[in-house]
Amino acid sequence: MPSNSDTHLKSIGYILWIFGFTGSHRFYYGKPVSGTIYFFTLGLCGIGWLIDLFLIPGMALAADQKYCAGYLDYTVAWVLLTFLGFLGIHRMYMGKWLSGLLYLLTGGIFGFGYLYDFWTLNTQVSEING
């Protein structure tokens, strides 16, 4: 089994940081509460967003230590969730075919499942990898 190193890439974090006022980079690094706060406050009115430019290396290290590497790649799961989450493609990637098809037919269970997965995707992938 692979080690816990590089489960969450800094390069992806910086790409998501560009859209950081939505909290996307914070969700990616396993910080759903602050990600939600950023989403509703536009990155704490842009101030928190700018500060995060310098905090991303630390967030990447913390995520690498917290989440288990393995068969599923976190980056692939996050890209699929971000861009195709309403279609359930990320769930199919994780082997959750039934819920993936349900997401496909219901638009990510009317959007609520999509939001739920932003909160829990890291844990879901880590459990499968563990």
Residue 2 pLDDT:
44
> Locate tokens 């769930």: which residue?
91
The pLDDT value recorded for residue 4 is: 54
Tell me how crowded residue 32 is: count the other CB atoms within 10 A of its CB. 18
Residues of the chain where predicted confidence (pLDDT) is lower than 50: 1-2
CA 90/CA 3 separation, integer angstroms: 23
Write down the pTM of the prediction. 0.86
pLDDT value at residue 116: 95
d(CA 123, CA 75): 13
Domain ranges of the chain: 10-66, 74-129
Average pLDDT, the chain: 92
pLDDT of residue 130: 87
Task: Report the distance separating Cα 3 and Cα 117, nearest Å.
Answer: 24
Is residue 42 left, alpha or beta, with left meaning phi > 0 and alpha meaning psi from -120 to 50?
left
Instruction: Catalogue the long-range contacts made by 22-25 (C-beta closer than 8 Å, 24 or more residues apart).
Output: 24/82, 25/52, 25/56, 25/59
Q: Outline where 1-130 has alpha helix (H).
A: 10-18, 24-28, 32-45, 47-66, 74-84, 89-93, 97-110, 112-129
